[in-house]
C-alpha cells in the first residue's frame, strides 16, 4: 500500500516541485490550493508519471475548508502519512511604517493561521495512526531580518514557533514535525516580489549568497529534494529541526 501525502500550497513553485518528487517517490497525493486550473494540470502531470493524485480547492485560512480537506484525504486514501504545509503569501516591499493593516491581515492569516489550521487538523488525524510526519515551509526571513518585509519575517518566526512547540508536544505520539527554511528560490512568488521591488525602486540591502558568490537563486528542486528526504524513513530520527536551504545567506 502506497504512502499518502497531503500538500497545501501545491500548485506552483516549491509545492509543485515537491508534489512531482513525491509522486516519483511512490506517494499517493492530495493537492490543496486556490487555483483549480493549475491544480488539475498538476494532477494530469502526476498521472502521466503513473502516480495517483487528487486536487481539492482549499482556502487554508478557513478552518472548515481545512477540516474538509483532511476528511477527503482520509476518505480517499485511508490515512495521511506525510503533510507538507507550503502555503504562504508576501506583500510588495515597503518599510515598516508604510506597512498597512491589509498587509498585516493577509500575511498573518495565511502564513500563521493557515499553517496552524493545517497542522492542527492533520495532527488530529495522525493521532489515530501509528505515526505521522509533517514538514512546514518556513523561510530564511524567519531567521534573519528581512528589510522591507517586517511582518512577513515576523510571520515566519511565528511558523517556527508552531513547529517547535508541536514537535515537542507530539514526539511521544511518534509524530515528527520539521521545517525547511528556503532563501532565494526561483518561484513565481519570488519573481513577482523582485519585480515589485524594481517597479517601486525599493533597494533591499542584503548579504550576497556565499555559496553562489552573489550569483543566481536556487531552484525549487533544491527544496523538493529535502522534502523527499524528510518524507522518507531516512529522516526517522529528526523532529523539531529547521533546515536552511539558502546558499548560506543566513550565515
Tally of CB atoms within 10 A around 161: 12
Do 93 and 149 form a contact (C-beta atoms < 8 A)?
Answer: yes
Q: Verify whether residue 152 is a known catalytic residue.
A: yes
Tally of CB atoms within 10 A around 61: 20
Cα gap 215→209, rounded to integer Å: 7
Q: How many CA atoms lie within 13 A of 102 on its CB side?
A: 2
Active site residue: 82, 83, 91, 152, which one?
152
Do 242 and 138 form a contact (C-beta atoms < 8 A)?
Answer: yes
Q: What are phi and psi of 130, to 5 degrees?
A: -65, -30
Q: Which three cell numbers stand for residue 2?
A: 502506497
Tally of CB atoms within 10 A around 67: 14
- What residues are labeled active site? 152
Amino acid at each position: 500500500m502506497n504512502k499518502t501525502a497531503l500538500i497545501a500550497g501545491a500548485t506552483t513553485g516549491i509545492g509543485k516541485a515537491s508534489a512531482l518528487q513525491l509522486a516519483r517517490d511512490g506517494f499517493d497525493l492530495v493537492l490543496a490550493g486556490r487555483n483549480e486550473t493549475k491544480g488539475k494540470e498538476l494532477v494530469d502531470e502526476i498521472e502521466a508519471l503513473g502516480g495517483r493524485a487528487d486536487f481539492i480547492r482549499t482556502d487554508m485560512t478557513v478552518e472548515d475548508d481545512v477540516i474538509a480537506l483532511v476528511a477527503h484525504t482520509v476518505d480517499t486514501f485511508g490515512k495521511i502519512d506525510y503533510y507538507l504545509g507550503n502555503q504562504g503569501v508576501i506583500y510588495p516591499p515597503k518599510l515598516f511604517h508604510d506597512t498597512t493593516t491589509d498587509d498585516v491581515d493577509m500575511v498573518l492569516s495565511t502564513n500563521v493561521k493557515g499553517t496552524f489550521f493545517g497542522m492542527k487538523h492533520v495532527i488530529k488525524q495522525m493521532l489515530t495512526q501509528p505515526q505521522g510526519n509533517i514538514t512546514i515551509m518556513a523561510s530564511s526571513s524567519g531567521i534573519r531580518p528581512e528589510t522591507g518585509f517586517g511582518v512577513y519575517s515576523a510571520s515566519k518566526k511565528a511558523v517556527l514557533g508552531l513547529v517547535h512547540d508541536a514537535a515537542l508536544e507530539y514526539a511521544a505520539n511518534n509524530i515528527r514535525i520539521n521545517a525547511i527554511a528556503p532563501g532565494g528560490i526561483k518561484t513565481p512568488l519570488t519573481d513577482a516580489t523582485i519585480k515589485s521591488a524594481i517597479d517601486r525602486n525599493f533597494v533591499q540591502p542584503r548579504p550576497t549568497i556565499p555559496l553562489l558568490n552573489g550569483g543566481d537563486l536556487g531552484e525549487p528542486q533544491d527544496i523538493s529534494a529535502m522534502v523527499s528526504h524528510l518524507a522518507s524513513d531516512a529522516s526517522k530520527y529528526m523532529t523539531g529541526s529547521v533546515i536552511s536551504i539558502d546558499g548560506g545567506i543566513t550565515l
